[in-house]
Each structure stands twice: as structure tokens, then as C-alpha cells.
């Protein structure tokens, strides 16, 4: 289920390898929403894969959401806390989406680099 959700983000892949392959290299996590009613099952509403870089920065290798979940507002703060708890010095990710760059900048991220093909690498230092 997690791999299938991450695969939906493939059109925005900024790395060389397919997201499914990158997700296998990192640690995968799912965000589960409680059931809407007693008759419903909890649902996976977001998934992400993290990789620890040699520089102590945790990188989001892949992320995807569905439904009403806003990854920047609802999930990114939890990933930041998770990385901070693991002792990371920063959290980073890459995107080709200018709107996501703007939202990330409002959340305290800076553009660390712009790669060939227009991929923005964003980074936030964690205290």
C-alpha cells in the first residue's frame, strides 16, 4: 500500500532512480487517518521515505499524499520532529514544483541548490 501511494509521485521524481527503488533504500513510513466511522477501516493518507545523508541531514527521498491531507502543513512538521529526534542536523528534499518551494520557504526551508532540469533542493536546519 505504501509503495503504491509513493508511486503516484513518480511524475515529480527529481532523482535518477524510480521512487519505488529509492523508497526501498530508505526507511518508509505511513500516515494513517482514523476511521471515519465504526464501519470504516483506518486509511493510509500519506507515505514517505527517508534517507540519512553522510552530512547528518535526513532527506525525504519520496513523499505522497491523498485526500484532504496537505503534506506541507500536516505531515512535514511530523517528519521534522522525527528527524530531530533521530539526531539529524537538517531535513531536506527536492522538488520541481514552484508552489511547493514557496510553501516550504514559508515553513523555514531555504533553497540550497537548483539542479539541472529545474529541481530545487530545499533544506531546513534543525535545532
Domain locations in the chain? 2-125
1 falls in which pLDDT band (50, 70, 90)? low
pLDDT band at 13 (very low <50, low <70, confident <90, very high): low
Cell numbers describing residue 55: 552530512
How crowded is the C-beta side of 23, counted as CA atoms within 13 Å?
A: 23
- Give whole-number Cα distances, 113 to 107, 117, 118, 120, 122, in Å: 17, 12, 10, 6, 7
CATH second-level architecture of 2-125? 3-Layer(aba) Sandwich (3.40)
Q: Which three cell numbers stand for residue 118?
A: 529545474
The string of pLDDT tens digits covering residues 31-59 is 888 887 888 888 888 989 898 998 999 99
| Residues 69, 58: Cα–Cα separation, whole Å | 22
Asked if 20 contacts 7 with a C-beta cutoff of 8 angstroms, the reply is yes
Q: pTM for this structure?
A: 0.82
Amino acid at each position: 500500500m505504501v509503495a503504491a501511494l509513493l508511486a503516484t509521485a513518480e511524475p515529480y521524481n527529481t532523482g535518477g532512480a524510480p521512487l519505488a527503488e529509492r523508497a526501498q533504500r530508505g526507511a518508509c513510513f505511513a500516515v494513517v487517518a482514523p476511521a471515519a466511522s465504526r464501519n470504516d477501516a483506518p486509511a493510509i493518507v500519506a507515505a514517505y521515505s527517508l534517507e540519512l545523508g553522510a552530512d547528518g541531514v535526513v532527506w525525504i527521498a519520496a513523499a505522497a499524499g491523498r485526500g484532504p491531507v496537505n503534506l506541507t502543513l500536516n505531515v512535514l512538521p511530523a517528519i521534522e520532529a522525527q528527524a530531530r529526534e533521530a539526531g539529524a542536523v537538517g531535513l531536506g528534499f527536492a522538488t520541481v514544483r514552484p508552489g511547493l518551494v514557496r510553501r516550504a520557504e514559508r515553513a523555514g526551508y531555504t533553497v540550497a541548490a537548483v539542479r539541472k532540469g529545474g529541481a530545487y533542493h530545499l533544506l531546513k536546519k534543525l535545532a
